[in-house]
Amino acid sequence: MPGTSPNPSQLPTTGRAWHLVRRPQGWPVPEDFALREVPLTAPAEGRILVRNRYFSVDPYMRGRMNDVKSYVPPYQLDVPMDGGAVGEVVASGADGFAPGDLVVHGRGWREYADLDARGATKVDDSLAPLPAHLGVLGMPGLTAYAGLMEIASFQPGDVVFVSGAAGAVGSVAGQLARLKGASRVIGSAGSDAKVEMLREEYGFHAAFNYKDGPVGDQLKQAAPEGIDVYFDNVGGEHLEAAISRLKQNGRVTLCGMISQYNATAPVPGPRNLALAVGKRLRLQGMIVSDHQALMPRFVEEASGWVRSGELRHHETFVEGVENGVEAFLGMLRGENTGKMIVSLDA
């Protein structure tokens, strides 16, 4: 049989996994979820069993909790949820994978993952600590890279505005813009501490707390000559403010709209969208899975900056699988700095 495995009697027989048990109405609450034991067996041919060491909670997961058609299927009720995770192979039925290998995969929200080996990618923890492969060198980092370089057609000298700039995607997008020659990088965040971090640690030229006053007024002060690129993680008031400040032929990457994810009624669009016509603006949505071919190039480029300290990153850790839902809810409330990650390494 391909692969290698320890004696089946040495393998765990159960593991805990989070299930969605009802569709949230507005803001999710703990009662929408249940942590349950699920049975485990030795992996079949072509499959691997992974002990997850870290798993990711991300804004897009809120949309998957609604039973609506989207770019990714909704979570099914009473079935283990999934998402990004990194862990250690404990048993293998697949060529090319052996116990001890470190892999990133899409079966998070659980202690152990039994998955098709084709859905796993080996990672090198010498490039960066394992959690970084869920953040700065993982899906959020690739999102920032593709959104800036391909969707927004970034050019050296651009003035770039990033909303949600202290989050996992926004913090990388702003730093990449600076590293690649932006003339000015501006970020918004939801606390004074995060604003200070954007300026002092991440090297943003300007940053503001969107809770301190109208976003439009603060953005005008930060970018009196206007902006060329807006990387949108928030939507709503931020998008309207950016449209007002964008120069002719400005570009917008529509990456996320976290301000609207828990709305229970339709949310009005920007009141100034007509400006997009005269300014010849380009507003384009993006889904990171469309850009997986960029991952090798991105990791090669970004890992060097991570090792040199030029690309800084933060993770906010919540310990224990039992606290996975609280980590997710905390991320929606903006309690994280950088990537919110659930650690199972204790």
Average pLDDT, the chain: 94
Instruction: Tell me the C-alpha to C-alpha distance, in Å, between residue 153 and each of 87, 139, 282.
Output: 35, 20, 10
pTM of the model: 0.86
Question: What pLDDT shows up at residue 124?
Answer: 85
Task: Please report the sign of the dihedral spanned by the C-alpha atoms of residue 155, residue 128, residue 107, residue 314.
Answer: negative
How far is 14 from 112, CA to CA, in rounded Å? 8
Give the tens place of pLDDT for each residue, 138-195.
Answer: 999 999 999 999 999 999 999 999 999 999 999 999 999 999 999 999 999 999 999 9
10 Å CB burial of residue 289 (0-12, 13-18, 19+) is: exposed
Q: What is the pLDDT of residues 51-99, one digit of tens each?
A: 999 999 999 999 999 998 888 899 999 999 999 999 999 999 999 999 9
DSSP designation for 190? S
pLDDT number for residue 254: 97
Domains in the chain with CATH codes: 8-135+313-343 (3.90.180.10), 139-289 (3.40.50.720)
